[in-house]
Structure formats: C-alpha cells, structure tokens
Amino acid sequence: MEYFWSDGGNNRPDFAYRFTLKEINSDIWEWCERYPETGYFQRWHVIRNFGSSTEDRKEVPLIQFESKKAAKMFRIAYSEYIIDNKSLYSLDE
C-alpha cells in the first residue's frame, strides 16, 4: 500500500479504519508497505502521538487505513499489538 504523506495542507488524515497500538515496529511498517494494492483508496498512515499526555491517558501510536479489507487483515495479523479499535465503521460486517 501507499503511505499517505502531504507536502502541504492536511498531513494528519482521518481514515475510516483506525487502531491504537502498543507500538509501531519495523515488522508492522513493512507489512503495510507490502500489502497488495487493489485499486484507489489504498493508503495508510501513522500518527505517532495520538491522544493526550496526562497522567491517566498517555500518547500512543495510531495506525489508520482507507481500505476496510486491509484493516481487517491487519487486525488479524497484529491483534496482540492493538489496544483499541477506533474505526468509524464496523469491521465485522
């Protein structure tokens, strides 16, 4: 898949399928880069400091996908890293 980046304008997209993670490691990054593209809207993005820095809530990485299928496959492959599903739509339909 293609990593979303911007050279101006919006550089923090809000894709529909999102997970907060314990960490982003090189294996996760490589999996996303290798995931096969099947058409338009196949991008992904990482926000490394999602949340707020308070005593009860720490900043955590957030990974997000435009593709529902990619998000479903990521959830299966890396379930042990997922803290919470923050997706706007259900992945179980």
**Is 93 inside a domain boundary?**
no
Residue 28's pLDDT is what? Answer: 97
**Domain range for 27:** 2-7+16-85
Phi-psi region at 39: left, alpha or beta (left = phi > 0; alpha = psi -120 to 50)? left
pTM above 0.95, yes or no: no
Instruction: Please give the tally of structural domains in the chain.
Output: 1
Q: Determine, yes or no, domain membership for 92.
A: no
Give yes or no for residue 56 having a pLDDT over 90: no
Residue 48 maps to a domain:
yes
Q: What is the pLDDT of residue 78?
A: 98
Confirm whether 91 is domain-assigned: no
Residue 90 lies in a domain: no
CA–CA separation, 93 vs 82, rounded Å? 20
Tens of pLDDT, residues 7-28? 666 677 889 999 999 999 999 9
Secondary structure (3-state) at 72: helix
Which one is predicted more confidently, 17 or 57? 17
Q: Is residue 60 part of a domain?
A: yes
Q: Is residue 67 part of a domain?
A: yes
- Domain annotation covers residue 27: yes
- More confident site: 52 or 50: 50
